[in-house]
């Protein structure tokens, strides 16, 4: 899981790399946000809405908790 | 700098407002110091400033669209806009209340009008600055 300034961290970058080096833009297009937002989520600068979080997990065909981790 | 359209727009607003409206306040303060007490005397300078502001904003945003691949607004842009406006809009409220109080106290109309305008400017500058901070540092 990538380090995050927010209590929610994620492993999206690793998942992209293991999925045919998927680009941030490709992921952004599939989940309906801008590339900058994908970058901000990966960098732990933005916690996505539940809907976008589910869309990301859906792209990688993983349950939500394997993509995002909550550390209060 | 890796920025989307909304962040570029915040930069354009911040710089344009600072230069154009700041320039207006500089001229207006010199006029006031020179003893111009009639509010109507400020209207031509103000009109020129507003026209300049609109023109620079339009061209700035056209340029921003041209150099930004995706100018769609997503949920992060909306949350950042909402947060920055929520945190800065109170300044206009304070400015209006201060303006009404100043009118009741019979303070110079020129000062009251410019106080109101200043509260609007400061509110917009804070809003644009907060947007940039939220885009750069996260929230």
Stretch B32-41: mean pLDDT: 94
The token pair at B59 is 């061209």
A10 bridge partner residues? A68
Cα distance between residue B124 and residue B13, in whole Å: 8
Q: Do B74 and A48 touch (CB under 8 A)?
A: no
Are the CB atoms for A26 and B119 separated by under 8 Å? no
- Chain A: give the shortest CA distance to residue B23, in Å: 34
Q: Which residues contact A25 (CB under 8 A, 6 or more apart)?
A: A35, A38
Positive or negative CA dihedral for A52, A57, A58, A59?
positive
pTM of the model: 0.88
Nearest to A35 among B70, B138, B139 (CB): B70
Cα distance between residue A41 and residue A4, in whole Å: 9
Q: ipTM of this model?
A: 0.85
**Residue among B10, B74, B81 with most chain A CBs within 10 A, to mutate:** B74
- Chain B: give the shortest CA distance to residue A48, in Å: 8
Cα distance between residue A62 and residue B1, in whole Å: 33
**Residue-wise pLDDT tens digits, B76-92:** 999 999 999 999 999 99
């Amino acid at each position: 899981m990538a380090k995050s300034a927010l209590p929610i961290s994620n492993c999206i970058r690793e998942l992209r790399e293991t999925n045919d080096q998927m680009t941030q833009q490709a992921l952004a297009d599939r989940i309906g946000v801008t590339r900058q937002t994908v970058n901000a989520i990966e960098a732990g600068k933005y916690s996505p809405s539940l809907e976008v979080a589910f869309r990301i997990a859906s792209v990688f065909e993983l349950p939500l908790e394997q993509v995002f981790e909550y550390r209060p | 700098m890796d920025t989307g359209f909304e962040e570029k727009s915040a930069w354009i607003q911040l710089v344009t407002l600072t230069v154009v409206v700041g320039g207006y306040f500089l001229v207006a303060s010199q006029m006031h110091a020179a003893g111009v007490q009639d509010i109507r005397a400020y209207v031509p300078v103000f009109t020129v400033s507003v026209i300049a502001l609109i023109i620079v904003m339009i061209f700035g945003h056209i340029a921003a669209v041209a150099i930004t691949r995706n100018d769609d607004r997503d949920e992060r842009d909306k949350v950042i806009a909402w947060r920055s406006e929520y945190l800065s809009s109170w300044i206009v409220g304070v400015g209006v209340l201060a303006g009404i109080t100043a009118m009741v106290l019979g303070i110079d109309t020129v000062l009251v009008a410019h106080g109101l305008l200043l509260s609007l400017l400061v509110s917009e500058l804070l809003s644009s600055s907060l947007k940039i901070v939220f885009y750069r540092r996260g929230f």
